[in-house]
Amino acid sequence: MDGLRHTGHNITAPFSICYSPENGYCASKGESLNMKLEIVPDDGFREPVDVKIRIRVPDPAVGIFTIYNQVHDLGVHSYPYTPMCFTQALDPDNPPEGYEFIKKAYAAAKKMKIDAVDVHVDVTASGGGFVREEKPVYRVNF
């Protein structure tokens, strides 16, 4: 039951999450990750669904530390579910406010001849007693 947690008795998920770009998408430094997400109901499911995205970037030089970790609340969505869009800048030279130290981690990675970093996107949708998760990983080339 990959990607599914359930708090009730039924083991069949009443909805899924479709997203693009697909897992494995590769970007270049300075581009943005433009995700499109959609809740796809099954078997007449019409409950409100709360959607959150967590963006995590491990330190490219060490790998055991997380240098960026933010949760973005995309809100509660009601049936009929309309597509959601999420944009994340992928530019280590211009990190979000409060994450200026990313510049140092990026510089250290370049000195070590590391030419890419993985961006982990955890998508969580909860509704009707179900929690559905998708965990795509995107690669950003320096």
Q: Domain of 115: which CATH number? A: 2.60.40.10
Within-domain flag for 103:
yes
Q: Can you say how many angstroms the Cα of residue 32 is from the centroid of all Cα atoms in its chain? A: 13
Domain that includes residue 46, residue range: 15-141
Which residues are registered as beta bridge partners of 125? 51, 132
Domain membership flag for residue 27? yes
> Which phi and psi angles does 105 have, rounded to 5°?
-65, -40
Q: Kindly indicate the confidence band of residue 5, based on its pLDDT and cuts at 50, 70 and 90.
A: low
Beta bridge partners of 117: 140
Instruction: Please classify residue 50 by burial: count the beta carbons closer than 10 Å to its beta carbon, then call 0-12 exposed, 13-18 middle and 19+ buried.
Output: middle
Domain count of the fold of the chain: 1
pLDDT tens, position by position, 20-79: 998 889 999 889 999 999 999 998 999 999 999 999 999 887 778 898 999 999 999 999
Residue 10 lies in a domain: no
9 part of a folded domain: no
Say if 4 falls within a structural domain: no
Residue 6 located in a structural domain: no
Q: Is residue 5 part of a domain?
A: no
In this prediction, residue 81 carries a pLDDT of 97
> Across all residues in the chain, what is the average pLDDT?
88
